[in-house]
Amino acid sequence: MYQEYIATANRLFIRDGKFTIGKVLNVHLSQRTTKTIANFLCKIPGVGSRKHQERRAHKKLAELEQAGKLLAVVTQNIDGLHQAAGSEQVYELHGSVHRNYCEKCGKFYDLDHILHTTGVPRCDCGGVIKPDVVLYEEALNDRVIDGAVNAIAQADLLIVGGTSLNVWPAAGLINYFRGDRLALINKSPVARDLAAGLVITDPIGEVLSQL
């Protein structure tokens, strides 16, 4: 999850001795260090390549959607693994490293373009290309939030998996759930005290692969 990316990033940049995570992912600093952000994001395991090894959980969720049993996936991840596994209705709360846009004209660029750029990535029009990820001090995308809230509110069963619910406002989206079947699947205890009908403390991939 996104908080795990942040923990990984902290270790990477403390080791590198160049930046703190707050500086690297700060929206104001990003205007001058877009290449640094791109390099940072691609150091995170599973992000820097489209040759993903889709995990069991991602594949199972995609299968459930294709079978008409899953309404949507709401994720804090920025790695595109859900789409790579076949999921179509995915609400990426923190954006995706695979989408990059010119801040001047809005032209789209993929991750490969950013990785193979020397210096600050720039568009043909001269504008700076920024990864479509939510940085510190940036608000979440309203359209994505609305879609996620509507999907959660319509669900009969809500599966919260692979997250300790430490990151807000994402953790608060559970409050929109109106169904009566809540399942928590995580290898460690979650941060919130929720009245879940089912709590499983095992890796979500192992659990979902048995369905």
Nearest CA to 162 among 84, 93, 76, 80? 76
Catalytic residue among 52, 94, 113, 116: 94
Residues contacting residue 85 through CB under 8 Å, at least 6 positions apart: 54, 55, 58, 59, 61, 62
Distance CA 155, CA 190 (A): 21
Secondary structure of residue 99 in the 3-state scheme: strand
Q: Are 148 and 160 in contact, with CB atoms under 8 Å apart? A: no
94 assigned to active site: yes
Q: How many CB atoms lie within 10 A of CB 20?
A: 12
Signed CA dihedral, 18, 80, 185, 177: sign only: positive
Q: Are 169 and 149 in contact, with CB atoms under 8 Å apart? A: no
Which residues form the catalytic set?
Answer: 94
